[in-house]
Amino acid sequence: MYSTVVYIQVIPIGEGVDLVIDCVGGSYWQQNTDVLKTDGRWVLYGLMGGANVDGALLRKLLSKRISILPSTLKTRNKQYKADLIRSFETNILPAFDSKALKPVIDRSFELEDIGKAHALMESNLNAGKILLKVIPTTKEEL
Protein backbone atom coordinates (compact mmCIF):
# COMPACT_ATOMS: atom_id res chain seq x y z
CA MET A 1 0.00 0.00 0.00
CA TYR A 2 1.49 3.34 -1.03
CA SER A 3 1.41 5.74 1.87
CA THR A 4 3.48 8.61 0.46
CA VAL A 5 0.88 9.79 -2.09
CA VAL A 6 -2.78 10.40 -1.37
CA TYR A 7 -3.97 9.97 -4.93
CA ILE A 8 -7.42 11.42 -4.32
CA GLN A 9 -5.66 14.77 -3.76
CA VAL A 10 -3.92 14.81 -7.16
CA ILE A 11 -7.15 14.47 -9.16
CA PRO A 12 -8.89 17.84 -9.67
CA ILE A 13 -12.09 18.38 -7.68
CA GLY A 14 -15.17 17.53 -9.69
CA GLU A 15 -13.22 15.21 -11.95
CA GLY A 16 -12.64 11.55 -11.48
CA VAL A 17 -11.36 8.51 -13.23
CA ASP A 18 -13.13 5.86 -15.25
CA LEU A 19 -10.99 2.99 -13.98
CA VAL A 20 -9.20 2.03 -10.77
CA ILE A 21 -6.82 -0.94 -10.88
CA ASP A 22 -6.37 -2.00 -7.27
CA CYS A 23 -4.11 -4.55 -5.59
CA VAL A 24 -4.71 -3.15 -2.08
CA GLY A 25 -8.37 -3.96 -1.51
CA GLY A 26 -10.25 -3.41 1.72
CA SER A 27 -8.35 -0.53 3.29
CA TYR A 28 -8.64 1.59 0.11
CA TRP A 29 -12.32 1.07 -0.72
CA GLN A 30 -13.31 4.62 0.31
CA GLN A 31 -10.56 6.27 -1.77
CA ASN A 32 -11.36 4.06 -4.74
CA THR A 33 -15.07 4.85 -4.72
CA ASP A 34 -14.45 8.56 -4.09
CA VAL A 35 -12.16 8.91 -7.09
CA LEU A 36 -14.26 6.87 -9.53
CA LYS A 37 -16.69 8.67 -11.82
CA THR A 38 -20.29 7.52 -12.07
CA ASP A 39 -20.36 4.24 -14.04
CA GLY A 40 -16.67 3.73 -13.24
CA ARG A 41 -14.98 0.35 -13.09
CA TRP A 42 -12.90 -0.96 -10.22
CA VAL A 43 -10.61 -3.87 -11.10
CA LEU A 44 -9.60 -5.66 -7.91
CA TYR A 45 -6.69 -8.06 -8.25
CA GLY A 46 -5.22 -8.23 -4.76
CA LEU A 47 -5.93 -7.77 -1.08
CA MET A 48 -2.66 -6.40 0.30
CA GLY A 49 -4.65 -3.98 2.49
CA GLY A 50 -6.99 -6.67 3.75
CA ALA A 51 -10.22 -8.28 2.66
CA ASN A 52 -12.55 -6.65 5.18
CA VAL A 53 -14.50 -3.46 4.52
CA ASP A 54 -16.08 -1.22 7.16
CA GLY A 55 -18.64 1.33 6.09
CA ALA A 56 -21.20 1.97 3.39
CA LEU A 57 -19.44 0.38 0.42
CA LEU A 58 -22.62 -1.04 -1.10
CA ARG A 59 -24.41 2.32 -0.86
CA LYS A 60 -21.49 4.01 -2.65
CA LEU A 61 -21.40 1.33 -5.36
CA LEU A 62 -25.13 1.74 -5.99
CA SER A 63 -25.16 5.53 -5.95
CA LYS A 64 -22.32 5.79 -8.50
CA ARG A 65 -23.21 2.59 -10.39
CA ILE A 66 -19.63 1.36 -9.92
CA SER A 67 -18.77 -2.06 -11.34
CA ILE A 68 -16.30 -4.23 -9.42
CA LEU A 69 -14.37 -6.66 -11.58
CA PRO A 70 -12.40 -9.08 -9.40
CA SER A 71 -9.58 -10.99 -11.03
CA THR A 72 -6.85 -13.38 -10.04
CA LEU A 73 -4.43 -15.43 -12.08
CA LYS A 74 -4.15 -18.10 -9.41
CA THR A 75 -7.28 -19.94 -10.56
CA ARG A 76 -6.76 -19.37 -14.30
CA ASN A 77 -5.63 -22.18 -16.59
CA LYS A 78 -2.29 -22.21 -18.42
CA GLN A 79 -3.85 -21.28 -21.77
CA TYR A 80 -5.46 -18.17 -20.30
CA LYS A 81 -2.13 -17.11 -18.79
CA ALA A 82 -0.29 -17.73 -22.08
CA ASP A 83 -2.89 -15.69 -23.99
CA LEU A 84 -2.60 -12.90 -21.44
CA ILE A 85 1.19 -12.78 -21.85
CA ARG A 86 0.85 -12.62 -25.65
CA SER A 87 -1.71 -9.85 -25.37
CA PHE A 88 0.58 -7.91 -23.03
CA GLU A 89 3.51 -8.32 -25.42
CA THR A 90 1.41 -7.19 -28.39
CA ASN A 91 -0.64 -4.39 -26.84
CA ILE A 92 1.24 -3.02 -23.84
CA LEU A 93 5.00 -3.45 -24.34
CA PRO A 94 5.03 -1.26 -27.48
CA ALA A 95 3.58 1.57 -25.38
CA PHE A 96 6.63 1.39 -23.13
CA ASP A 97 8.94 1.41 -26.16
CA SER A 98 7.22 4.52 -27.56
CA LYS A 99 7.25 6.16 -24.10
CA ALA A 100 3.43 6.43 -24.12
CA LEU A 101 3.62 4.46 -20.85
CA LYS A 102 6.39 5.15 -18.36
CA PRO A 103 7.01 2.98 -15.31
CA VAL A 104 7.24 4.74 -11.97
CA ILE A 105 10.55 3.70 -10.45
CA ASP A 106 11.31 4.66 -6.86
CA ARG A 107 14.94 3.52 -6.97
CA SER A 108 17.36 0.83 -8.08
CA PHE A 109 19.69 -1.33 -5.99
CA GLU A 110 22.73 -3.41 -6.83
CA LEU A 111 22.39 -7.11 -6.05
CA GLU A 112 24.69 -6.83 -3.04
CA ASP A 113 22.26 -4.26 -1.57
CA ILE A 114 19.30 -6.63 -1.66
CA GLY A 115 18.82 -6.18 2.10
CA LYS A 116 18.42 -2.42 1.65
CA ALA A 117 15.93 -2.97 -1.17
CA HIS A 118 13.92 -5.35 0.98
CA ALA A 119 14.00 -2.94 3.93
CA LEU A 120 12.62 -0.18 1.69
CA MET A 121 9.85 -2.47 0.50
CA GLU A 122 8.97 -3.47 4.08
CA SER A 123 8.96 0.18 5.19
CA ASN A 124 6.20 0.88 2.67
CA LEU A 125 7.80 4.26 1.86
CA ASN A 126 8.39 3.65 -1.83
CA ALA A 127 6.26 5.39 -4.44
CA GLY A 128 6.95 3.20 -7.43
CA LYS A 129 8.81 0.04 -8.31
CA ILE A 130 11.97 -1.05 -6.53
CA LEU A 131 14.46 -2.45 -9.03
CA LEU A 132 17.18 -4.98 -8.29
CA LYS A 133 20.11 -4.98 -10.72
CA VAL A 134 20.99 -8.65 -11.13
CA ILE A 135 23.41 -8.19 -14.03
CA PRO A 136 25.54 -5.04 -14.10
CA THR A 137 24.74 -2.96 -17.19
CA THR A 138 25.98 0.23 -18.74
CA LYS A 139 23.92 2.76 -20.67
CA GLU A 140 25.47 1.49 -23.90
CA GLU A 141 24.15 -2.02 -23.23
CA LEU A 142 20.57 -0.82 -22.83
Residue 98 has pLDDT above 90, yes or no: yes
pTM value? 0.62
Is residue 26 classed exposed, middle or buried when 0-12, 13-18 and 19+ CB atoms within 10 A define those classes? middle
Predicted local confidence at residue 131, as pLDDT: 94
Strand partners, 110: 133
- Give me the pLDDT at residue 77, please: 95
Q: What is the pLDDT of residues 35-68, one digit of tens each?
A: 899 999 999 998 888 888 888 989 999 999 999 9
Phi, psi of 125 (to 5 degrees): -105, 0
Q: How confident is the model at residue 12 (pLDDT cuts 50, 70, 90)?
A: low
The DSSP secondary structure of 91-132, one letter per residue, reads: HTHHHHHTTSS---EEEEEEGGGHHHHHHHHHHT--SSEEEE
Question: Is the Cβ–Cβ distance between 49 and 1 less than 8 Å?
Answer: yes
With CA atoms as reference, report the closest residue to 49 among 32, 74, 72, 73.
32
CATH of domain 1-71: 3.40.50.720
In this prediction, residue 1 has a pLDDT band, given cuts at 50, 70 and 90, of very low
What separation, in Å, do the N-terminal and C-terminal C-alpha atoms of the chain show?
31
By DSSP bridging, strand 105-110 and strand 129-133 are parallel
